[in-house]
Chain A
Amino acid sequence: MLSSNIKGVTSGFPLRIEAEKVVEKQVELNAAFLKNMFTKIEWKPFVDASRAMGYAELPDEAESSMLESDEFLQKFHHALLELHLEEGALVCPETGRRFLVNKGIPNMLLHEDEV
């Protein structure tokens, strides 16, 4: 859901993930929350992001009826909530500007000449 917001950049989404270190955190599954989030997510970039982080279980396409399946829900849950990019970068597709991710925190702040 993040994008590059450098001045003048028009297609700053989706940011490509460069993963150096991915950690997994145990999170309790909440189906209502997942259904809520599903409607807000662009599936293609989401799948690409999870693959960049080394998780390839998600199907190329998804529709809301699949949320009834526990197996799908479990995978969606894992990719959305349990995978964390600990070290790496988010790369702007237009300019190649790298937003570093350090200790799990993406640094989305712009430099002076980018505002």
Chain B
Amino acid sequence: MWYLCVFYHRLLDYRKPEVESLADLFGAFNDNHKLEWKLPQHHHPDSPFHFVNLPSEEIARNVANRSILVKGLYELWGEGNSYEELEEAIKNYPDEQKLPYLTSESSFKITVDTFGKVISFQEQNDRIRDLSYIPFKGRVNLRNPDHKFWLMETDDYGSNNGLPPVAQKRVFFGREVGAADRKLLPTYQLKSRSYLGPTAMDAEVAFLMANQAQAMPGKLVYDPFVGTGSILVAAAHFGAMTMGADIDIRVVRDGRGPDCNVWSNFKQYGLQMPLSLLRADNNLPPWRSGLKEMFDAIICDPPYGVRAGGRKSGGRKLLKGVKGPYTVPDDKRTDHIPSTAAYSLAECVHDLLDLAARMLVIGGRLVYFYPVLRDNDSIDTNFPEHPCFELVAACEQMLSLRYSRVLLTMVKTRPYTDDIAEAAKIRHLEFKENHLKWMEDGNLHSAVFSPADLQLGDTGDIKVGKESKPKYRGKYV
């Protein structure tokens, strides 16, 4: 069945993958159903209006209610390029679909919504009054209606105000099946969270990550770079059991005192505490040999060295190469804090994929951010690959003109075999040997923060400055 799917006009790349991931979670693909998308005529792909094909209203409701970016999924009663066309379409919509929602026992509410323009309260009322050809019998209830109807209008405003160009005016009328609960976002906003780090994940994005990971009760979700736990909080909100590790013991153990640490962040929202928090190094994970397929999802924001650099065990020995390892005196062993070495992005991603390949169940999901440099308005789409995984979504979020982060969602489709483990081990040793080389190659920090003209110099293409900012902002929103 086709539903009108209207999105919030934010994080454009994340919208469809979220719906697809949730549709999968709620069983939309069980009977070989294929999810399809359509756009209204003449609409730009970035338009907030889409049509999506879902197998049942129940699934549609579940998807919309759990989502973050779906403003609403609607049973469309009619659409048209003008109000006359809309009236005709609604009149032609079969009565058996309409009448059950118009009975005298039920209450209802009509909301007028516009995209790309503003209309006055008076105009909204006039628009509602013009709908009198629909035989509403029930009472109006603005607070808590049984049925919500939406009249949505978008105009042919061209492409001058940062919105996706629409060639034609379009009017939609539909019954709401479900809508995102955006109240979650003020509840979980970072500014009211007690324990925060400099790179705590924004609540909205953390929820999107948890949705991509299909967190739900009965599942175990792991974050190897847990930090202050901002991503696991979102997974725990959806009922998943959580577990986290971090190399920095001060962050996971001490926080800022007894009531300001990772645990208190879960307590603050009445969430299930993490099953366990560890201090461990993703480069040398402490799992027993033979342990595999432990987690249902791994969600993380690895340190790529732009805002926070990664660290791994074995500082001096690795950095100086020739010098033998520092031997810790016996009397200092208990409280010794080992030195750590910088952790290159390439090595970090390799370790993460290997960990996920081993520790995820088949069908489990790895969801993580991956940084990319933008060049001439396009990005390199050679994302990391692994024989155990299929990439199901890559959602770009532009952070500056030259730098984006992409949320990658990978599903484990094949078991972790001895061959793969062996190949990973060889690669691990390679990283260890060429430590300095990898650090220089993967220095994203200097690429992001170096002056722009150094990069564009030889092409003579000066695209920096305010003028060059494209009028239509697309992925910037």
Contacts and interface: CB of A to CB of B under 8 A. Distances in A.
Q: Do A and B come from one complex?
A: yes
Interface of A: 1-5, 12-14, 25, 27-28, 30, 32-33, 36-37, 40, 81, 100, 102-113, 115
Nearest to A113: B325
Contacts of A81: 275
Contacts of B317: 112, 115
A24 to B, nearest CB: 12
A97 B54 CA distance: 56
A113 B285 contact: no
Contact of B338 (A3, A5, A27, A112): A112
B288 A13 contact: yes
A26 B294 CA distance: 23
B294 A105 contact: no
A32 B241 CA distance: 11
B333 A111 contact: yes
Contacts, number: 106
Contact of B278 (A30, A32, A105, A113): A105
A109 B281 CA distance: 6
What 9 A-B pairs come out closest when comparing CB atoms? A3-B288, A32-B218, A13-B288, A115-B314, A108-B286, A108-B280, A105-B253, A112-B326, A113-B325
Contacts of A103: 253-254
A38 to B, nearest CB: 12
A112 B291 contact: no
A102 B338 contact: no
Given A40-B294, A113-B325, A115-B325, 17 more contacts: A1-B288, A2-B278, A3-B288, A13-B288, A33-B219, A106-B276, A106-B278, A106-B279, A107-B279, A108-B281, A110-B338, A111-B336, A112-B316, A112-B317, A112-B327, A115-B284, A115-B313
Determine the main DSSP class of B at the interface with A: loop
B347 to A, nearest CB: 14
Determine the main DSSP class of A at the interface with B: loop
Contacts of A112: 313-317, 325-328, 338-339
B260 to A, nearest CB: 13
Contacts of A37: 220
Nearest to B246: A105
Residue of B220, B263, B288 most packed against chain A (CB within 10 A):
B288
Residue of B241, B279, B285 most packed against chain A (CB within 10 A):
B279
B314 A109 contact: no
